[in-house]
Structure 1
């Protein structure tokens, strides 16, 4: 845990974030990349994430924090959802966002079993936190019978 804390303190700051954003933005403006057909770019990105990015991490997390909207919009909004795409490799992605008194946590995974999600939400319930679960997954037993 201390190692993660130190890593985040060192890398999550304005200097490093601006560098990442500048690198990503300059890639989009590169004339060579702009003329490459999309199916080739998709192939290269998938290969990169499968061989490099996903091997260096076991999960992905994005936290949008607490979203604010103008007062006159609040009565029309129940919650916000944010989703990370399904990963290319066997790992789980998690996205977190809150609005007023509702915290929404979404998981995306290409792993058939839901052990990570199940353990996570059981821990919240054990800590006395009210949880409502929605899923677009089939029951695992039903899935295996197909």
Structure 2
């Protein structure tokens, strides 16, 4: 091959630098998006630091939990649930609400331990649920206890 043709052979062309900046910007945007989703929707305390978002989340949590307890009460009054299963379901819902609202692991604590914690005001209702669940001769009014649980959830601060 003659040397005069080598002037037509060239190396690869360099890429434009804007591709690098575009890749960096997209990566930063993706990381920021996932961080925002995690902070704003996660069950931790991240969203509670934002006053407006934290208040909206807590109100939605109260409404959802109260609605669930109300449905359990409706099913109990309709005869779909017996007293013990209704007490179990409502107790589970109340304990889940308390855990999400306060951070206290209410699902795993005994009622006596709950009475010594920051959610002591919920202990009497939970104690009645325990009586309904495990005492077949319980004289507790299940419908009233369910209403008390719903009121407790709606008035929780």
Q: TM-score range by the shorter chain?
A: under 0.3
Higher strand proportion (structure 1 or 2):
1
Q: TM-score by structure 1 length? A: 0.28
Higher helix proportion (structure 1 or 2):
2
User: Which structure has more RCO (C-alpha within 8 Å, separation ≥ 6)?
Assistant: 2
Pair member with larger Rg:
2
Q: TM-score by structure 2 length? A: 0.26
